[in-house]
Structures are given as structure tokens and as C-alpha cells.
Amino acid sequence: MTHQKAHVRTIGNQDGAAVLDTERGTISTLNTTGAYIWQALERGEIGEEIVEGLARETGESLDVIRQDVNDFIAALRKQNILGR
């Protein structure tokens, strides 16, 4: 999976992250979970690796996390922030 596009810049901290789309001139903020997913994508992790990592950290069920991760990735793609 390709993570971010060339026109996207990210700044993160302990509270989450901010994603700047220089093409559209927009800034999106991510909570800590969104930032975790984003950083995992930057590392080249695939969906299921991200799901398992979040499950280990949170103790939440794989099915719930899987749906949330899939929804989050779909939203990033819809906003044209994430490549295919």
C-alpha cells in the first residue's frame, strides 16, 4: 500500500498529528489512534499489521479495530490524502 502522496506533509506529537495537503491548502488533524495508523502506513505496514498492533496496545477486539482501520483508510483515500 502506498502511504502518503508527495503533496502531503505530516507533523505529529503525543496528542496526534496534523496533515497538510499543499495541493488543496487544507489541514486535517488526527487523534492519537489516527496518528498511530498514519505512522504505521508511513512505515509500510499493511492493514492487518496495523490492526494487530492496535489490538495489542488497546486490548480491543480485532473485529472492531479492523472495521475502524478500514473506515479510516477509506476516509483518507476519499480525501485524496492517501495513495492506493
Q: Is residue 58 part of a domain?
A: yes
pLDDT tens digits, one per residue of 48-63: 999 999 999 999 999 9
Q: Is residue 13 part of a domain?
A: yes
Q: Is residue 2 part of a domain?
A: no
Q: Is residue 38 part of a domain?
A: yes
The boundaries of the domain holding residue 45 are: 8-78
For the chain, the straight-line distance linking the first and the last C-alpha, in angstroms and rounded, comes to 6
Angle between helices 62-78 and 32-42 (to 10 degrees): 80
Is the pLDDT reported for residue 2 higher than 50? no
pLDDT tens digits, one per residue of 33-47: 999 999 999 899 988
Instruction: Identify the pLDDT of residue 8.
Output: 81
Instruction: Identify the pLDDT of residue 30.
Output: 93
pTM: 0.82
Share in percent of the chain as helix, strand, coil (round to 5):
50, 25, 30
Instruction: Identify the pLDDT of residue 6.
Output: 74
Domain count, the chain: 1
